[in-house]
């Protein structure tokens, strides 16, 4: 397949602004992530009827992993992809109330924030990886903006598959193409509008230096994202299933 013939990464939907296919990224060994098997997105509760039909019936998504907090789900809803035939999993990466951390307590380096979350959410991350390994049909994970928590899970999955770091950074930065619309929507979202102005400015971008900083911290502490993921205690069968399902044959 030539580059021109490859599927389009951004899935155009009426309600979601950051719905993407994770296919096509190359690994260090020269393999590629399969198209049409794993998707990442911003919040799904804005989806239209047409969006639901496209994602469920045409893309064939059958597993949804919601990374938002319980408070966000209560205020904004689970979204229309939370009923059969889709398996809905609520796996919050953190589940504290929004706005209960003072801005001065948050590290200025957003990559450092991601690194701290990586350590704090080990159990949730392991659960996400196990769900993705068990899925036999296309799966989707998302948060509110599809940038931070979703970006962290995307980096871990791609890192476990040994995707080149340049592509992990590329995947993260893709959000910047639509960041202004995403931020404006968050300002109007019930779970965010009361605290949005208190969010540190550094959280409102998706710059390459942010992911590079995160990856650098991971290398120093764990060696690589793959080594971090393997250190979660995943069964060898889980890793094998992820590789078989998400990577093209060598």
Instruction: Name which CATH class applies to 3-246.
Output: alpha beta
What tokens appear for 86 in the block? 């889709």
Query: 194 in helix, strand or coil?
Result: coil
Report how far residue 132's alpha carbon sits from residue 246's, in angstroms, rounded to the nearest whole number.
Answer: 9
User: What pLDDT sits at residue 1?
Assistant: 42
Measured over the CA atoms of residue 167, residue 65, residue 47 and residue 53, the dihedral's sign is positive
User: What pLDDT sits at residue 196?
Assistant: 65
- Cα 109 to Cα 106, 114, 175: the distances in Å are 9, 9, 18
For the entire predicted model, the pTM comes to 0.92
Report how far residue 156's alpha carbon sits from residue 136's, in angstroms, rounded to the nearest whole number.
Answer: 20
* Predicted confidence pLDDT, tens digits, the chain (250 residues): 444 556 889 999 999 999 999 999 999 999 999 999 999 999 999 999 999 999 999 999 999 999 999 999 999 999 999 999 999 999 999 996 443 344 445 566 899 999 999 999 999 999 999 999 999 999 999 999 999 999 999 999 999 999 999 999 999 999 999 999 998 888 888 777 666 666 667 678 899 999 999 999 999 999 999 999 999 999 999 999 999 999 998 7
Taking a C-beta distance cutoff of 8 angstroms, is the pair 110, 210 a contact? yes
- What DSSP letter does each residue of 94-118 carry, written as one string? --SPTT-S-GGGS-S-HHHHHHHHH
* Torsions phi, psi for 7 (to 5 deg): -60, 160
User: What pLDDT sits at residue 186?
Assistant: 85
- E strand residue ranges, 108-191: 139-142
Taking a C-beta distance cutoff of 8 angstroms, is the pair 43, 68 a contact? yes
Taking a C-beta distance cutoff of 8 angstroms, is the pair 79, 45 a contact? yes
Taking a C-beta distance cutoff of 8 angstroms, is the pair 139, 36 a contact? no
User: What pLDDT sits at residue 116?
Assistant: 95
Task: Give every CB contact of residue 94 below 8 A, 6+ residues apart in sequence.
Answer: 69, 117, 120, 121
């Amino acid at each position: 397949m030539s580059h021109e013939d490859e599927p389009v990464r951004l899935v155009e939907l009426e309600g979601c602004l950051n719905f993407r296919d994770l296919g096509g990224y190359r690994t260090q060994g020269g393999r590629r992530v399969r198209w049409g098997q794993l998707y990442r997105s911003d919040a799904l509760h804005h989806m239209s009827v047409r969006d639901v039909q496209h994602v469920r019936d045409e893309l064939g998504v059958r597993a949804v992993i919601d990374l938002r907090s319980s408070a966000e789900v209560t205020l904004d809803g689970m979204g229309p992809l939370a009923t059969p035939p889709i398996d809905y999993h609520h796996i919050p990466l953190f589940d504290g109330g929004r706005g209960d951390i003072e801005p001065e307590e948050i590290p200025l380096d957003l990559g450092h924030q991601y690194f701290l979350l990586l350590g704090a959410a080990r159990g949730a991350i392991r659960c996400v990886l196990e769900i993705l390994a068990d899925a036999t049909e296309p799966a989707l994970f998302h948060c509110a903006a599809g940038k931070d928590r979703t970006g962290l899970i995307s980096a871990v999955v791609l890192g476990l598959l040994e995707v080149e770091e340049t592509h992990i950074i590329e995947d993260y930065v893709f959000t910047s193409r639509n960041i202004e619309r995403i931020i404006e929507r968050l300002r109007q979202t019930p779970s965010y509008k009361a605290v949005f102005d208190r969010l540190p400015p550094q959280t409102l971008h998706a710059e390459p230096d942010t992911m590079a900083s995160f990856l650098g911290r991971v290398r120093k502490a764990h060696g690589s994202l793959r080594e971090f993921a393997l250190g979660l205690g995943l069964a060898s069968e889980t890793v094998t299933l992820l590789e078989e399902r998400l990577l093209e044959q060598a």
